[in-house]
Amino acid sequence: MQITFPHLLLSQLSELLEMKMGLYYPEKRWDDLERRIAFAAQELGMKDTESGILQLLSSSLTRRQIEILARHLTVGETYFFREQRGLDVLEGRIFPELMRMCKRGNRKLRIWSAGCCTGEEPYTIAMLLDRLFQHDGEWNATILATDINPAFLDKAAEGLYSEWSFRATPDWIKERYFKRKKNGLFEILPHIRKRVTFSYLNLAEDVYPSVASNRSAMDIIFCRNVLMYFSPEGVRRIGQNFHRSLVSNGWLAVSPVEMSDDFFPQFKSTAFPGASLYQKVESPESRRNMVECRFSGALPNISRRVQKPLTHTFGVQGRFTTSTLKRSAAAELPVVTDLVEQPLTAHPVTDQPEREEFEVLCQSARFYANRGDLTKAARRCEEAIAANKLEPAAYYLLATIQQELGQVEDAMQSLMRTLYLDPDLVLAHFALGNLCLSHGKSREAERHLDNALLLLASYPSHAILPESEGLIAGRLTQIITSMRTSKFAGLPGNKEQSIDN
Which of helix, strand or coil describes residue 3?
coil
Strongest mean pLDDT among 5-9, 21-25, 105-109, 439-443: 105-109
pLDDT recorded at residue 92:
92
| CATH value of 84-287 in 3.10.20.30, 3.40.1440.10, 3.40.50.150, 3.40.50.2300 | 3.40.50.150
Is 390 or 490 the better-scoring residue by pLDDT?
390
pLDDT recorded at residue 277:
95
> What b/e sequence results for 383-404 when a residue is b if at least 16 CB atoms lie within 10 Å of its CB, and e otherwise?
bbbebbbbbbbbbbbbbbbbbb
CATH 3.10.20.30 is the classification of domain 314-487 = no
Q: Are 192 and 130 in contact (CB under 8 A)?
A: yes
Q: Are 226 and 253 in contact (CB under 8 A)?
A: no
Q: Are 86 and 42 in contact (CB under 8 A)?
A: no
Average pLDDT, the chain: 77
Q: Compute the distance between CA of residue 138 and CA of residue 495 in angstroms, rounded to an integer.
A: 31
Mean pLDDT for the stretch of residues 315-343: 35
pLDDT recorded at residue 98:
93
How large a percentage of the chain has pLDDT more than 90?
22
> What b/e sequence results for 463-501 when a residue is b if at least 16 CB atoms lie within 10 Å of its CB, and e otherwise?
ebbbbbbbbbbbbbbebbeebbeebeeeeeeeeeeebee
Amino acid sitting at position 25:
Y
Of the candidate ranges 134-138, 245-249, 461-465, the one whose mean pLDDT is the lowest: 134-138
Is 212 or 294 the better-scoring residue by pLDDT?
212
State the architecture of 7-73 in CATH terms.
Answer: Orthogonal Bundle (1.10)
Instruction: Report CA torsion sign: 240, 244, 246, 248.
Output: positive
pTM: 0.61
Fold match, 7-73 / 84-287: no
Q: Are 378 and 402 in contact (CB under 8 A)?
A: yes
pLDDT recorded at residue 48:
79
pLDDT recorded at residue 256:
86
Q: Compute the distance between CA of residue 229 and CA of residue 76 in angstroms, rounded to an integer.
A: 13
Q: Is the pLDDT of residue 157 over 60?
A: yes
Q: In terms of DSSP bridges, do strands 218-222 and 246-253 run parallel, antiparallel, or are they unpaired?
A: parallel
pLDDT recorded at residue 120:
94
Of the candidate ranges 34-43, 116-125, 418-427, the one whose mean pLDDT is the lowest: 34-43
Confidence of residue 283 (pLDDT cuts 50, 70, 90): low
Query: Domain residues of the chain, as ranges?
Result: 7-73, 84-287, 314-487
Mean pLDDT for the stretch of residues 108-132: 93
Tell me 257's DSSP state. Answer: G
Q: Which of 239, 228, 290, 284 is nearest to 266 (CA)?
A: 239
Q: Is the pLDDT of residue 228 over 50?
A: yes
